[in-house]
Structure 1
Amino acid sequence: MGHDHDEHEKQDRDARLAEAVAMRGRGDREEARERLVALAARYPEDTEIAYQTAWAHDVLGLETEAVPHYERALAGGGTGDGGLDADDRRGALLGLGSTYRCLGRYEDAVALLTGAVEEFPDDGSLRTFLAMALYNTGRHHESTSLLLRLLAATSEDPSVRQYRRAIDHYAGDLDAIG
Protein backbone atom coordinates (compact mmCIF):
# COMPACT_ATOMS: atom_id res chain seq x y z
CA MET A 1 0.00 0.00 0.00
CA GLY A 2 2.79 2.42 0.89
CA HIS A 3 4.23 2.82 -2.61
CA ASP A 4 0.84 3.14 -4.35
CA HIS A 5 -0.32 5.60 -1.71
CA ASP A 6 2.84 7.73 -2.13
CA GLU A 7 2.46 7.70 -5.91
CA HIS A 8 -1.20 8.72 -5.68
CA GLU A 9 -0.30 11.46 -3.19
CA LYS A 10 2.36 12.83 -5.58
CA GLN A 11 -0.06 12.80 -8.53
CA ASP A 12 -2.66 14.58 -6.41
CA ARG A 13 -0.09 17.19 -5.32
CA ASP A 14 1.12 17.71 -8.89
CA ALA A 15 -2.44 18.07 -10.23
CA ARG A 16 -3.46 20.55 -7.53
CA LEU A 17 -0.31 22.63 -8.04
CA ALA A 18 -0.73 22.66 -11.84
CA GLU A 19 -4.39 23.66 -11.45
CA ALA A 20 -3.54 26.57 -9.13
CA VAL A 21 -0.75 27.81 -11.42
CA ALA A 22 -3.05 27.58 -14.47
CA MET A 23 -5.73 29.46 -12.54
CA ARG A 24 -3.26 32.28 -11.81
CA GLY A 25 -2.30 32.30 -15.49
CA ARG A 26 -5.95 32.80 -16.44
CA GLY A 27 -6.20 35.79 -14.12
CA ASP A 28 -8.01 34.10 -11.22
CA ARG A 29 -5.29 35.35 -8.91
CA GLU A 30 -7.16 35.41 -5.60
CA GLU A 31 -8.56 31.91 -6.00
CA ALA A 32 -5.14 30.66 -7.08
CA ARG A 33 -3.62 32.26 -3.97
CA GLU A 34 -6.18 30.58 -1.70
CA ARG A 35 -5.53 27.17 -3.25
CA LEU A 36 -1.77 27.61 -2.99
CA VAL A 37 -2.03 28.66 0.67
CA ALA A 38 -3.96 25.44 1.35
CA LEU A 39 -1.35 23.40 -0.55
CA ALA A 40 1.49 25.11 1.33
CA ALA A 41 -0.18 24.21 4.63
CA ARG A 42 -0.53 20.60 3.49
CA TYR A 43 3.06 20.36 2.15
CA PRO A 44 5.08 22.74 4.37
CA GLU A 45 8.46 21.34 3.25
CA ASP A 46 7.69 21.55 -0.47
CA THR A 47 9.92 24.27 -1.92
CA GLU A 48 8.13 24.43 -5.29
CA ILE A 49 4.75 24.99 -3.64
CA ALA A 50 6.32 27.60 -1.33
CA TYR A 51 7.73 29.44 -4.37
CA GLN A 52 4.45 29.40 -6.26
CA THR A 53 2.61 30.55 -3.12
CA ALA A 54 5.06 33.43 -2.65
CA TRP A 55 4.59 34.46 -6.27
CA ALA A 56 0.79 34.30 -5.91
CA HIS A 57 0.99 36.79 -3.03
CA ASP A 58 3.50 39.00 -4.84
CA VAL A 59 1.33 39.47 -7.96
CA LEU A 60 -1.50 40.66 -5.69
CA GLY A 61 0.78 43.20 -4.00
CA LEU A 62 0.80 41.20 -0.75
CA GLU A 63 4.55 41.57 -0.24
CA THR A 64 4.59 41.03 3.52
CA GLU A 65 2.64 37.79 3.16
CA ALA A 66 4.93 36.63 0.34
CA VAL A 67 8.14 36.81 2.43
CA PRO A 68 7.80 33.65 4.57
CA HIS A 69 6.86 31.62 1.50
CA TYR A 70 9.90 32.92 -0.43
CA GLU A 71 12.13 32.21 2.56
CA ARG A 72 10.75 28.66 2.85
CA ALA A 73 11.20 28.11 -0.89
CA LEU A 74 14.86 29.12 -0.65
CA ALA A 75 15.59 27.27 2.59
CA GLY A 76 15.85 24.00 0.66
CA GLY A 77 18.94 25.13 -1.24
CA GLY A 78 19.48 23.95 -4.82
CA THR A 79 18.07 20.97 -6.70
CA GLY A 80 20.55 18.49 -5.27
CA ASP A 81 19.44 19.42 -1.74
CA GLY A 82 15.77 18.80 -2.50
CA GLY A 83 15.34 22.48 -3.30
CA LEU A 84 14.19 24.44 -6.32
CA ASP A 85 15.60 23.92 -9.80
CA ALA A 86 17.95 26.66 -11.00
CA ASP A 87 15.32 28.73 -12.84
CA ASP A 88 12.88 28.70 -9.93
CA ARG A 89 15.69 29.40 -7.46
CA ARG A 90 16.79 32.40 -9.51
CA GLY A 91 13.16 33.60 -9.65
CA ALA A 92 12.71 33.16 -5.91
CA LEU A 93 15.93 35.05 -5.16
CA LEU A 94 14.83 37.91 -7.40
CA GLY A 95 11.32 37.85 -5.94
CA LEU A 96 12.49 37.89 -2.33
CA GLY A 97 15.18 40.50 -2.96
CA SER A 98 12.70 42.75 -4.71
CA THR A 99 10.11 42.17 -1.97
CA TYR A 100 12.59 43.04 0.79
CA ARG A 101 13.33 46.24 -1.13
CA CYS A 102 9.62 47.12 -1.52
CA LEU A 103 9.19 46.64 2.23
CA GLY A 104 12.10 48.99 3.00
CA ARG A 105 14.32 46.11 4.16
CA TYR A 106 17.18 47.49 2.07
CA GLU A 107 20.09 45.83 3.87
CA ASP A 108 18.33 42.45 3.66
CA ALA A 109 17.79 43.06 -0.06
CA VAL A 110 21.47 43.93 -0.61
CA ALA A 111 22.66 40.87 1.32
CA LEU A 112 20.32 38.47 -0.46
CA LEU A 113 20.87 39.92 -3.94
CA THR A 114 24.65 40.05 -3.50
CA GLY A 115 24.62 36.32 -2.84
CA ALA A 116 22.22 35.78 -5.75
CA VAL A 117 24.54 37.65 -8.15
CA GLU A 118 27.45 35.49 -6.99
CA GLU A 119 25.35 32.37 -7.59
CA PHE A 120 24.01 33.56 -10.98
CA PRO A 121 26.65 35.99 -12.30
CA ASP A 122 25.16 36.13 -15.82
CA ASP A 123 21.71 37.27 -14.69
CA GLY A 124 21.28 40.95 -15.52
CA SER A 125 17.95 41.27 -13.70
CA LEU A 126 19.54 40.23 -10.39
CA ARG A 127 22.30 42.82 -10.90
CA THR A 128 19.70 45.47 -11.73
CA PHE A 129 17.70 44.82 -8.56
CA LEU A 130 20.93 44.73 -6.53
CA ALA A 131 21.83 48.15 -7.98
CA MET A 132 18.46 49.53 -6.86
CA ALA A 133 18.91 48.12 -3.36
CA LEU A 134 22.45 49.54 -3.20
CA TYR A 135 21.03 52.94 -4.16
CA ASN A 136 18.47 52.64 -1.34
CA THR A 137 21.26 52.02 1.20
CA GLY A 138 23.11 55.15 0.05
CA ARG A 139 25.77 53.24 -1.86
CA HIS A 140 25.24 55.37 -4.97
CA HIS A 141 28.72 54.94 -6.44
CA GLU A 142 28.48 51.13 -6.28
CA SER A 143 24.94 51.21 -7.66
CA THR A 144 25.83 53.41 -10.64
CA SER A 145 29.01 51.44 -11.34
CA LEU A 146 27.05 48.17 -11.41
CA LEU A 147 24.45 49.62 -13.78
CA LEU A 148 27.10 51.12 -16.09
CA ARG A 149 28.91 47.76 -16.30
CA LEU A 150 25.62 46.02 -17.05
CA LEU A 151 24.80 48.62 -19.72
CA ALA A 152 28.25 48.26 -21.31
CA ALA A 153 27.97 44.47 -21.35
CA THR A 154 24.40 44.09 -22.60
CA SER A 155 23.32 47.14 -24.63
CA GLU A 156 22.58 46.66 -28.30
CA ASP A 157 22.40 50.44 -28.83
CA PRO A 158 25.11 51.22 -31.43
CA SER A 159 26.09 54.47 -29.73
CA VAL A 160 26.56 52.66 -26.40
CA ARG A 161 28.44 49.81 -28.09
CA GLN A 162 30.79 52.36 -29.66
CA TYR A 163 31.82 53.58 -26.19
CA ARG A 164 31.57 50.21 -24.40
CA ARG A 165 35.25 50.12 -23.34
CA ALA A 166 35.21 53.70 -22.06
CA ILE A 167 31.94 53.15 -20.14
CA ASP A 168 33.31 49.98 -18.58
CA HIS A 169 36.57 51.76 -17.68
CA TYR A 170 34.87 54.74 -16.04
CA ALA A 171 32.40 52.47 -14.22
CA GLY A 172 35.38 51.38 -12.11
CA ASP A 173 36.13 54.92 -10.92
CA LEU A 174 33.41 57.49 -11.53
CA ASP A 175 35.44 60.18 -9.79
CA ALA A 176 38.49 59.82 -12.03
CA ILE A 177 39.50 62.81 -14.13
CA GLY A 178 40.80 62.15 -17.63
Structure 2
Amino acid sequence: MSADKKRDLLKETDRLREEGRPEEARSRLLALTAEYPGDAEVAYRTAWIHDVLGLESEAVPYYERALAGPELAAEDRRGALLGLGSTYRVLGRFGQAVETLRRGVEEFPDDGALRTFLAMALFNTAEHHEAMRLLLELTATTSQDPSVQRYRRAIEHYAKDLDETM
Protein backbone atom coordinates (compact mmCIF):
# COMPACT_ATOMS: atom_id res chain seq x y z
CA MET A 1 0.00 0.00 0.00
CA SER A 2 1.29 3.45 -0.85
CA ALA A 3 1.98 6.17 1.69
CA ASP A 4 -0.88 8.21 0.16
CA LYS A 5 -3.32 5.33 0.57
CA LYS A 6 -2.25 4.85 4.20
CA ARG A 7 -2.67 8.59 4.87
CA ASP A 8 -6.15 8.52 3.31
CA LEU A 9 -7.16 5.55 5.45
CA LEU A 10 -5.89 7.27 8.58
CA LYS A 11 -7.91 10.39 7.68
CA GLU A 12 -10.96 8.20 7.27
CA THR A 13 -10.47 6.66 10.72
CA ASP A 14 -10.19 10.16 12.17
CA ARG A 15 -13.43 11.12 10.46
CA LEU A 16 -15.20 8.04 11.80
CA ARG A 17 -14.01 8.80 15.33
CA GLU A 18 -15.11 12.44 15.05
CA GLU A 19 -18.53 11.32 13.75
CA GLY A 20 -19.03 9.18 16.84
CA ARG A 21 -18.29 5.87 15.13
CA PRO A 22 -15.24 4.70 17.10
CA GLU A 23 -15.94 0.97 16.66
CA GLU A 24 -15.74 1.36 12.89
CA ALA A 25 -12.55 3.38 13.26
CA ARG A 26 -11.11 0.66 15.50
CA SER A 27 -11.89 -2.06 12.94
CA ARG A 28 -10.17 -0.11 10.20
CA LEU A 29 -7.18 0.69 12.41
CA LEU A 30 -6.77 -2.94 13.41
CA ALA A 31 -6.69 -3.87 9.72
CA LEU A 32 -4.10 -1.14 9.10
CA THR A 33 -2.06 -2.36 12.05
CA ALA A 34 -1.99 -5.85 10.55
CA GLU A 35 -0.75 -4.39 7.28
CA TYR A 36 1.73 -1.95 8.93
CA PRO A 37 2.79 -3.67 12.17
CA GLY A 38 5.85 -1.45 12.66
CA ASP A 39 4.29 1.87 11.71
CA ALA A 40 4.40 4.26 14.68
CA GLU A 41 1.62 6.54 13.45
CA VAL A 42 -0.77 3.64 12.86
CA ALA A 43 0.11 2.21 16.29
CA TYR A 44 -0.53 5.60 17.94
CA ARG A 45 -3.93 6.01 16.30
CA THR A 46 -4.83 2.44 17.22
CA ALA A 47 -3.85 3.06 20.86
CA TRP A 48 -5.87 6.26 20.89
CA ILE A 49 -9.05 4.62 19.59
CA HIS A 50 -8.76 1.87 22.19
CA ASP A 51 -8.53 4.56 24.88
CA VAL A 52 -11.58 6.33 23.43
CA LEU A 53 -13.49 3.05 23.73
CA GLY A 54 -12.35 2.45 27.32
CA LEU A 55 -10.13 -0.45 26.28
CA GLU A 56 -7.09 0.76 28.18
CA SER A 57 -5.38 -2.64 28.56
CA GLU A 58 -5.60 -3.17 24.81
CA ALA A 59 -4.25 0.35 24.15
CA VAL A 60 -0.97 -0.18 26.04
CA PRO A 61 0.91 -2.35 23.51
CA TYR A 62 0.00 0.04 20.70
CA TYR A 63 1.26 3.04 22.67
CA GLU A 64 4.45 1.16 23.51
CA ARG A 65 4.95 0.25 19.85
CA ALA A 66 4.31 3.84 18.76
CA LEU A 67 6.93 5.13 21.21
CA ALA A 68 9.53 2.43 20.52
CA GLY A 69 11.30 4.44 17.83
CA PRO A 70 11.81 8.03 16.74
CA GLU A 71 9.26 7.97 13.89
CA LEU A 72 6.35 9.85 15.48
CA ALA A 73 5.94 13.54 14.77
CA ALA A 74 6.53 15.65 17.89
CA GLU A 75 2.84 16.38 18.53
CA ASP A 76 1.92 12.71 18.17
CA ARG A 77 4.84 11.70 20.42
CA ARG A 78 3.63 14.16 23.07
CA GLY A 79 0.13 12.71 22.80
CA ALA A 80 1.40 9.14 22.95
CA LEU A 81 3.46 9.84 26.08
CA LEU A 82 0.48 11.48 27.75
CA GLY A 83 -1.87 8.73 26.58
CA LEU A 84 0.38 5.90 27.74
CA GLY A 85 1.14 7.55 31.07
CA SER A 86 -2.52 8.25 31.71
CA THR A 87 -3.48 4.72 30.66
CA TYR A 88 -0.90 3.18 32.99
CA ARG A 89 -2.35 5.32 35.79
CA VAL A 90 -5.93 4.23 35.04
CA LEU A 91 -4.75 0.62 35.12
CA GLY A 92 -3.13 1.15 38.53
CA ARG A 93 0.38 0.84 37.12
CA PHE A 94 1.47 3.99 38.94
CA GLY A 95 5.24 3.53 38.75
CA GLN A 96 5.11 3.08 34.99
CA ALA A 97 2.78 6.08 34.77
CA VAL A 98 5.28 8.27 36.65
CA GLU A 99 8.19 7.02 34.54
CA THR A 100 6.35 7.63 31.25
CA LEU A 101 5.00 11.03 32.23
CA ARG A 102 8.41 12.15 33.55
CA ARG A 103 9.85 11.24 30.16
CA GLY A 104 7.08 13.29 28.56
CA VAL A 105 7.81 16.31 30.77
CA GLU A 106 11.53 16.00 30.02
CA GLU A 107 10.85 16.01 26.27
CA PHE A 108 8.07 18.61 26.40
CA PRO A 109 8.75 20.75 29.50
CA ASP A 110 6.23 23.45 28.59
CA ASP A 111 3.30 21.04 28.27
CA GLY A 112 0.92 21.72 31.13
CA ALA A 113 -1.19 18.62 30.50
CA LEU A 114 1.82 16.34 30.86
CA ARG A 115 2.79 18.08 34.11
CA THR A 116 -0.77 17.78 35.41
CA PHE A 117 -1.01 14.07 34.65
CA LEU A 118 2.44 13.56 36.18
CA ALA A 119 1.21 15.28 39.34
CA MET A 120 -1.76 12.90 39.51
CA ALA A 121 0.51 9.87 39.09
CA LEU A 122 2.89 11.23 41.72
CA PHE A 123 -0.05 11.56 44.08
CA ASN A 124 -0.83 7.88 43.47
CA THR A 125 2.74 6.94 44.40
CA ALA A 126 2.54 9.02 47.61
CA GLU A 127 4.98 11.62 46.26
CA HIS A 128 2.68 14.37 47.49
CA HIS A 129 5.26 17.13 47.82
CA GLU A 130 6.41 16.81 44.23
CA ALA A 131 2.84 16.53 42.97
CA MET A 132 1.85 19.68 44.84
CA ARG A 133 4.97 21.52 43.65
CA LEU A 134 4.15 20.73 40.02
CA LEU A 135 0.56 21.91 40.38
CA LEU A 136 1.51 25.09 42.22
CA GLU A 137 4.13 25.96 39.59
CA LEU A 138 1.63 25.25 36.83
CA THR A 139 -1.03 27.38 38.54
CA ALA A 140 1.39 30.26 39.08
CA THR A 141 2.62 30.28 35.49
CA THR A 142 -0.60 29.59 33.59
CA SER A 143 -3.48 31.03 35.59
CA GLN A 144 -5.06 34.18 34.28
CA ASP A 145 -6.91 34.70 37.53
CA PRO A 146 -5.89 38.18 38.77
CA SER A 147 -5.82 37.06 42.39
CA VAL A 148 -3.47 34.18 41.56
CA GLN A 149 -1.25 36.50 39.56
CA ARG A 150 -1.14 38.95 42.45
CA TYR A 151 0.40 36.21 44.60
CA ARG A 152 2.40 34.51 41.86
CA ARG A 153 5.81 35.15 43.42
CA ALA A 154 4.68 33.79 46.77
CA ILE A 155 3.10 30.72 45.16
CA GLU A 156 6.29 30.03 43.19
CA HIS A 157 8.38 30.51 46.32
CA TYR A 158 6.33 28.11 48.42
CA ALA A 159 6.13 25.60 45.59
CA LYS A 160 9.86 25.02 46.11
CA ASP A 161 9.38 24.14 49.79
CA LEU A 162 5.88 23.61 51.09
CA ASP A 163 7.14 22.95 54.59
CA GLU A 164 8.48 26.52 54.85
CA THR A 165 6.06 28.77 56.66
CA MET A 166 8.09 31.97 56.68
Q: Give the SS at the match of 2:85.
A: helix
Q: 1:41: Cα distance to partner?
A: 1.2
Look up the match of 2:44: 51
Q: 1:70: Cα distance to partner?
A: 0.5
Look up the match of 1:131: 119
Aligned residues: 166
Q: 1:10: Cα distance to partner?
A: 2.1
Greater Rg by CA: 1
Q: Return 5+ residue gaps in structure 2 as ranges.
A: none
Look up the match of 2:9: 16
Deviation track 1:87-122 (CA, whole Å, cap 9, x = no partner) reads 010000000000000000000010111111011000
1:110 counterpart = 2:98? yes
1:155 counterpart = 2:143? yes
1:61 counterpart = 2:49? no
Letter in 2 for 1:72: R
1:25 counterpart = 2:18? yes
User: Percent identity between the aligned chains?
Assistant: 64
1:76 counterpart = 2:69? yes
Which of 130, 136, 154 is residue 166 of structure 1 equivalent to? 154
Q: 1:148: Cα distance to partner?
A: 0.3
Letter in 2 for 1:43: Y
Which of 142, 145, 148 is residue 130 of structure 2 equivalent to? 142
Look up the match of 1:42: 35
Q: Give the SS at the match of 1:176.
A: coil
Deviation track 1:7-48 (CA, whole Å, cap 9, x = no partner) reads x62222222221112111111110101110111111011111
Q: Give the SS at the match of 1:13.
A: helix
Q: Return 5+ residue gaps in structure 1 as ranges.
A: 1-7, 78-82
Task: Supply the RMSD in Å over aligned alpha carbons.
Answer: 0.9
In 2: Cα distance, 1:64 partner to 1:29 partner: 17
